Amino acid sequence: MATVSTLAANLERQLSNRGSFLSVATRVLLRTGVNIREPKPQQDGDEAAVSQVRAALAAMGFQT
Distance CA 64, CA 12 (A): 11
Residue 14 pLDDT class (50, 70, 90 cuts): very high
pLDDT recorded at residue 47: 96
- For residue 1, pLDDT over 90 is answered with no
Domain residue ranges of the chain, discontinuous segments joined by +: 4-59
**pTM (two decimals):** 0.91
